[in-house]
Structure 1
Amino acid sequence: MAAVAEITGDAAAAANTNNNINNTTKNLDSDGKPKSESEFSVLKLVDLITKLNPLAKEFFPSSYNNNNKTQNNLHLSDFAVPNKQPGNDNFPTNQRRRNNYNQGKRQLNGRAYRAQQEDGIRRTVYVSDIDQHVTEERLAGLFSSCGQVVDCRVCGDPHSVLRFAFVEFADEQGARAALNLGGTMLGYYPVRVLPSKTAILPVNPTFLPRSEDEREMCTRTVYCTNIDKKVSQAEVKNFFESTCGEVTRLRLLGDHVHSSRIAFVEFTMIYLLF
């Protein structure tokens, strides 16, 4: 009986050995190296992860919703936020502020300009039917009895029988008093005085003569218009020299828009052209 028991135990041990050998053979990879169960679990997990879709809804927790974005920062776009320079974070806001400031400044300048224009209009009168021989000094002297005259501009063709003018006063009271001078004889005709609808534009001082030499040069210069584009500068110069006298300087100006050109002709002496 003891011998039978020993044989049975040996057979069982041999069977266990064969099972272990089979299990070991199953756990060998293509390289013949054994693998543990933990390694098999990791490989299975990697295989499952590679087959998952990162855009699937299962990746979002159930507590996530569109109205709770500030509390759940798990949106896919949050994982791809580019690095920003710290100095540029407020650039759009600063740009809008500068644009708003510039726009407000332009509006303020526009209001100030319109207010200045309206004030100038209230202080200005329009005078018509002025004798062609009446000068600006004489016209200003007539209206000086109404108040301080700031500016006086006589306009119109100097060769016309009647011309018109704008007279600006230092205050509105002077302009209202000037309306009573309508019908006053100045030269050979009675003048008409009405409230002005426009203000006198100020003269740019950089365009005015700054010395006696420049004033003297202006008295020797004439302004010509309606010059045919086919006429050359030499022909314009020959025309004035044959008619008026020696020409020191001539500038012929024009563009592609207007059908004619203009010219400034400077003579060596002062000539009266009629």
Structure 2
Amino acid sequence: MIRRTVYVSDIDQLVTEEQLASLFLNCGQVVDCRVCGDPNSILRFAFIEFTDEESARAAVSLSGTMLGYYPLRVLPSKTAIAPVNPTSLPRSEDEREMCSRTIYCTNIDKKLTQADVKHFFESICGEVHRLRLLGDYQHSTRIAFVEFAVAESAIAALSCSGVILGALPIRVSPSKTPVRARSSPRSP
């Protein structure tokens, strides 16, 4: 597990877990992405776990990539993913409430569209407020953050883990971060 994990530091405070996971999808399938540290500081770091060691080795080559205003530092991790520090995420009561309505879904068949994924969850769990499908067609699977209108729908969605969607069994877990609206560039 440790060899499938990378440690990322120097993360800009406006960069979200979603943006970070999206960047590392180019290396392979992301199993988990945890941003840690003070959300108001540039001293944030993350652990990103992949399905295989080869993807983690490829991720190290992204060291120096600009994400936000700082180049990321990517190293092989010396530890497996640590539990989320509850003080670092989310940043407000509204975001805590948003997290309770959001799921993180992996192993999504790349043939599926955002509309397909939304329809699947709405037909079983209830109204989807926002959905971000991440990944590209070069990789065998994609990931999604799905925010429902109510927390009960997100709880219901957790029971969809293992359900075949397209040709693959999806994996669903509670999201540790809210699906934030895409932020506009910082004003000086």
For Structure 1 versus Structure 2, the TM-score category normalised by the shorter chain is: 0.3 to 0.5
Q: TM-score, normalised by structure 2?
A: 0.45
The answer to which structure has the higher strand fraction is: 2
Greater RCO (CA < 8 Å, at least 6 residues apart): 2
Larger radius of gyration: 1
The answer to which structure has the higher helix fraction is: 1
